[in-house]
Amino acid sequence: MQRTIGIIGGGQLGLMIAEQAHLLGARCVALDPSADAPAFRVCDDHIVAAFDDAAALEELCRRSDVVTYEFENVPGELLVDLERRYNIKQGFRPLFDSQDRLREKDNARANGLRTVEYAAADDEASLDAAVAKIGCPCVVKTRTLGYDGHGQVVVRGEADMERARALLPAPLIVEQFMPFDYEASAIVVADDEREICFPVGRNIHKDGILDLCIVPCADGGMAERIADESRAFMRRCGYRGILAIEYFVRGDEIYFNEMAPRPHNSGHYTIEGCTTNQFRELCRFLLGMPLEEPRLVAPTVMKNILGCDLGAAERIAEQRLPGVYVHIYGKSVCRPLRKMGHITFVGMTPERYSAEWPDKFAR
Structural domain 117-176, CATH architecture: 2-Layer Sandwich (3.30)
Side by side, which strands form the sheet with 138-142? 118-121, 172-176, 138-142, 152-155
Please give the pLDDT value at position 268.
98
Number of H helices, E strands in the chain: 12, 17
Question: Would you call 354 exposed, middle or buried from its count of C-beta atoms within 10 A (0-12, 13-18, 19+)?
Answer: exposed
359 C-beta neighbours (distance < 10 Å), count = 6
Kindly report the CATH number that applies to the domain delimited by 182-360. 3.30.470.20
The closest of 145, 209, 213, 202 to 338, measured between CA atoms, is 209
The amino acid occupying position 243 is L
- Nearest-5° Cα angle at 226, 101 to 109: 35
138-168 burial, b for 16+ CB within 10 Å, e for fewer?
A: bbbbbbbebeeeebbbebeeeebbeebbebb
Please give the pLDDT value at position 146.
66
Structural domain 4-88, CATH architecture: 3-Layer(aba) Sandwich (3.40)
- Domain positions in the chain are 4-88, 117-176, 182-360
φ/ψ (deg, to 5) at 222: -65, -40
The closest of 179, 220, 214 to 200, measured between CA atoms, is 214
Q: What is the pTM of this model?
A: 0.95
For the chain, residues with pLDDT lower than 50 are: none
Please give the pLDDT value at position 360.
85
